[in-house]
Amino acid sequence: MSAQDRATKAIEASRDDLISLSHFIHANPEMGYEEFKSAEAVAAACERTGFSVERGIASLPTAFRAVAGHGDLHVVICAEYDALPDVGHACGHNIIAASSTGAAIGLAAVADELNLRVTLLGTPSEEGGGGKIDLINAGEFRDAHFAMMIHPWPEERLEATCLAVDHFDVTFEGKEAHASAAPWQGINALDALTIAQVALGLLRQQLVPGDQFHGIVAEGGAAANIIPSRVVGRFMARSLTSERLAVLRSRMNACFEAGALASGATMSVKELGSAFSHMESDHEILSHYRRAAESLGRRFDLDDAGVAKPTISTDMANVSLVVPSIHPLLAIPTNGAVNHQPEFTAACITSEADQAVIDGALALALTAISVASDPSLRNRLQST
């Protein structure tokens, strides 16, 4: 029996457990760095299948490392399991966690014969916090030769355009006053944010293609008849590279300063989590992924037609700058819904989504086997 067949057999033997894991995570959505149930469910699944598991790595309670094999080629598979506020698992991290677990199980079954070391890394808080960046800084990728994960999407794509992104809060502070009897005695912090938002709206026309920003009012005042003394806007800024992102942030900051100057409020900026970088996929590994996915019936017609890649941001991009990595998009039927919509949440526990869990696991495992069996690529990865 070939290594591919043995890995496939191991994954198929775990099919019911993997689907149950996906459904459990979906039913228990937890925010970033608070994924206690989900992280334990994935870690325990690895432990039951013979992995050596260490929980709470890098001083992160919901991060873990599960290792099998002692080979000299080290592959890291990343498992995400955090959810979004209000819409739960509308980005399909339940599928990611279960697929990554399945891929690790499949590779563990052939690790010795392929001279592999397999690490499933539990990576918290992808949605804004940057758990993988925490793990990079803690040295968890230092001896990895390549890293992989898949991400559910409405369409099959080999890769996305991953934009560098910052997350930050802008706070304006003024002075309360009675909004009817003596508004002139107040300093309206909400006016400051409104002026800043107008300036940002006008700035959009001059944005370089690839630059984006988005924001919400996180705190907007206490009552309509009180001049707001404290207002918080939560923003994200994105660009094609970290260098361009710094330029965009400078232009945005001028808009916030304009709001403060015009209203008389004071302004402060608080960075949230870590800055996400742009991504550099390893296209040689990605070619092995394509062949593995196509062997399962997956098609990449949009890539072949040259359709523009979707734009996303992920802390897997930061991983790609320190170790050769791939982050392909795995199609699930969504009836027109896109990620971060409630309808996408519902699409992540259908029978088709369950099959995507298994396909994702198989595609990643077969990719790693193919990479390990490619002498030229293996040598390049181990020499990097």
Number of domains in the chain: 2
Q: Which domain holds residue 258?
A: 164-275
Domain termination site, one of 275, 302, 336: 275
Quick one: pLDDT at residue 302?
A: 98
Quick one: pLDDT at residue 1?
A: 86
Q: Are residues 20 and 60 in the same domain?
A: yes
CA distances 227 to 169, 197, 231, 262, Å, are 21, 18, 11, 16
CB 230 within 8 A of CB 171: yes
Q: How far apart are the first and last CA of the chain?
A: 32
Tell me, what CATH number does 234's domain have? 3.30.70.360
User: Which residue stretches of the chain have pLDDT < 50?
Assistant: none
Sign, Cα dihedral of 245, 283, 320, 345: positive
d(CA 352, CA 355): 5
Q: Are residues 30 and 148 in the same domain?
A: yes
Q: Are residues 255 and 374 in the same domain?
A: no
Q: What φ, ψ does residue 233 adopt, rounded to 5°? A: -105, 135
Q: Are residues 12 and 136 in the same domain?
A: yes
Q: Are residues 228 and 363 in the same domain?
A: no
Q: Are residues 82 and 28 in the same domain?
A: yes
pLDDT tens-place string over residues 60-90 = 999 999 999 999 999 999 999 999 999 999 9
Query: Quick one: which of 13, 124, 118 has its CA closest to 74?
Result: 118
- How is 7-63 classified by DSSP, letter by letter? HHHHHHHTHHHHHHHHHHHHHS---TT--HHHHHHHHHHHHHTT-EEEESGGG-TT-
Cα angle value 90/341/356 (rounded, 5°): 45
Q: Are residues 334 and 231 in the same domain?
A: no
Tell me, what CATH number does 132's domain have? 3.40.630.10
Domain termination site, one of 253, 275, 297: 275
Q: Are residues 178 and 82 in the same domain?
A: no
Quick one: pLDDT at residue 22?
A: 98
Query: Within 204-282, where are the H helices?
Result: 242-263
Q: Are residues 78 and 8 in the same domain?
A: yes
Q: Are residues 270 and 284 in the same domain?
A: no
Q: Are residues 156 and 299 in the same domain?
A: yes
Sign, Cα dihedral of 376, 378, 379, 384: positive
d(CA 153, CA 292): 18
Q: Are residues 16 and 63 in the same domain?
A: yes
Quick one: pLDDT at residue 384?
A: 78
Domain termination site, one of 275, 307, 331: 275
pTM of the model: 0.90
